Amino acid sequence: MSTDTTLQSFQADVIDASMQVPVLVDFWAPWCGPCKSLGPMLEKLEQAYGGRFKLVKIDTDAEQQLAQHFRIKSIPTVYAFVGGQPVDQFQGALPEGKLREFIDRLMPNPSDVELEQAGAALDRGDEAAATEHAKKAIALDPSNDSARLLYAQLLLGAGEPAAAQGQLDALSDAAKADPQVGALMQQVADAVDASKPPVPHELLDRVAAHPTDLQARLDLAEYWIEYKDWEPALEQLLEIVLRDRAFQEDIGRRRMVQVFELAAAQPALVSDWRRRLGGALNVR
């Protein structure tokens, strides 16, 4: 429901309120014809947006000081306030479609909202919640470099440098050009090198000596999975799929699907191997 404000209540009704949600201030008068069509439409949209913005109305005849302060020359005039400041305005009675466009420009990006919540979670020491919010921010807007950077740092801190590297690889060129980002990328690259598991010579020798030994391939895949080295694990599992779908009740395919979930922080890798698996299944 819209709010009628006065000079005395303007601070609370508009400035303070706009720190929480965008506020539209409708300057109108009872004798104004276009105001009679615009006002109800704004009230309808306030209801339709479900509290995502607030509508405040100012009768310019009753509140002449406010009208003079905002230099209102004609009515209706609508000011938009965000974060305590006027950020946009229009004059005249716009059609509903144009009103929606105006309002939508004021709405916070949902991805940025998730990123803010991730930061708040970090401030209170809840890294698990921060990670979930960062993931949601990226899902909502894959071009959100700030969300990817935060997620990469969280992954690095969780001991998943390869996954962190995957997020950094997906950054825009502009983000990668930042010296601080470059330093983080080097730190992650060093961590990836340091985290590489010992070479499992015995398992590799078993597979080399007996390429049809699917148990050896499965053992080798499980070794890589334990170290979160997804690509060599997927290589062995796909080979099992190609050689014998019946082996251990299609363990190759089933385990690949599980690895896709485990490697969700590396979407490019998962997408590539999903495509390869799909191709292998279509061959059968």
Which tens digits make up the pLDDT trace of 15-72?
Answer: 999 998 999 999 999 999 999 999 999 999 999 998 889 999 999 999 999 999 999 9
- The answer to whether residues 89 and 178 belong to one domain is no
Position 103 confidence tier, pLDDT thresholds 50, 70, 90: very high
Query: How many other CB atoms are there within 10 angstroms of residue 44's CB atom?
Result: 12
Residues near 175 by beta carbon (within 8 Å), at least 6 away in sequence: 145, 148, 149, 181
Q: What is the CATH number of the domain that holds 136?
A: 1.25.40.10
255 counts as catalytic: no
Average pLDDT over residues 112-131: 93
Average pLDDT over residues 262-279: 90
Residues near 261 by beta carbon (within 8 Å), at least 6 away in sequence: none
Position 228 confidence tier, pLDDT thresholds 50, 70, 90: confident
- The answer to whether residues 181 and 207 belong to one domain is no
Position 199 confidence tier, pLDDT thresholds 50, 70, 90: confident
- The answer to whether residues 171 and 229 belong to one domain is no
Which of 32, 93, 149, 163 is flagged as catalytic? 32
Q: What is the CATH number of the domain that holds 246?
A: 1.25.40
Query: How many other CB atoms are there within 10 angstroms of residue 5's CB atom?
Result: 21
> Which DSSP string corresponds to the chain?
--EE--TTTHIIIIIIGGGTS-EEEEEE-TT-HHHHHHHHHHHHHHHHTTTSSEEEEEETTT-HHHHHHTT--SSSEEEEEETTEEEEEEES---HHHHHHHHHHHSPPHHHHHHHHHHHHHHTT-HHHHHHHHHHHHHH-TT-HHHHHHHHHHHHHTT-HHHHHHHHHTS-HHHHTSHHHHHHHHHHHHHHHHHPPPP-HHHHHHHHH-TT-HHHHHHHHHHHHHTT-HHHHHHHHHHHHHH-TTTTTTHHHHHHHHHHHHTTT-HHHHHHHHHHHHHHHHH-
Number of structural domains, the chain?
3
- The answer to whether residues 190 and 250 belong to one domain is no
Could you say which of 58, 83, 106 is where a domain stops?
Answer: 106
Average pLDDT over residues 246-273: 92
Residue 180 predicted with pLDDT over 70: yes
- The answer to whether residues 246 and 276 belong to one domain is yes
Residue 284 predicted with pLDDT over 70: no
Q: Are 74 and 129 in contact (CB under 8 A)?
A: no
Query: Cα(48)–Cα(106) distance, rounded to whole angstroms?
Result: 15
Position 227 confidence tier, pLDDT thresholds 50, 70, 90: confident
> Which pLDDT score is estimated for 232?
93
For the chain, the farthest-separated pair of C-alpha atoms sits apart, in whole angstroms, at 93
Q: Would the pTM count as exceeding 0.85?
A: no
Structural domain for 74, as ranges: 3-106
Which of 14, 23, 25, 35 is flagged as catalytic? 35
- The answer to whether residues 146 and 168 belong to one domain is yes
- The answer to whether residues 178 and 220 belong to one domain is no
- The answer to whether residues 147 and 208 belong to one domain is no
> Which pLDDT score is estimated for 39?
94
CA-nearest of 58, 47, 63 to 13 is 58
Could you say which of 106, 141, 156 is where a domain stops?
Answer: 106
For the chain, the average pLDDT equals 92
> Which pLDDT score is estimated for 246?
94
Average pLDDT over residues 206-225: 94
32 counts as catalytic: yes
- For 60-101, the pLDDT digits (tens) are 999 999 999 999 999 999 999 998 999 999 999 999 999 999
- The answer to whether residues 69 and 149 belong to one domain is no
Could you say which of 160, 195, 230 is where a domain stops?
Answer: 195
Sheet with strand 23-28: strands edge to edge? 3-4, 54-59, 23-28, 77-82, 85-91
Query: Cα(77)–Cα(83) distance, rounded to whole angstroms?
Result: 20
Q: Are 57 and 2 in contact (CB under 8 A)?
A: yes
> Which pLDDT score is estimated for 162?
85
Residue 140 predicted with pLDDT over 70: yes
- The answer to whether residues 156 and 176 belong to one domain is yes
- The answer to whether residues 19 and 44 belong to one domain is yes
> Which pLDDT score is estimated for 264?
83
Q: What is the CATH number of the domain that holds 97?
A: 3.40.30.10
- The answer to whether residues 142 and 67 belong to one domain is no
> Which pLDDT score is estimated for 109?
83
Residue 108 predicted with pLDDT over 90: no
Average pLDDT over residues 220-242: 92
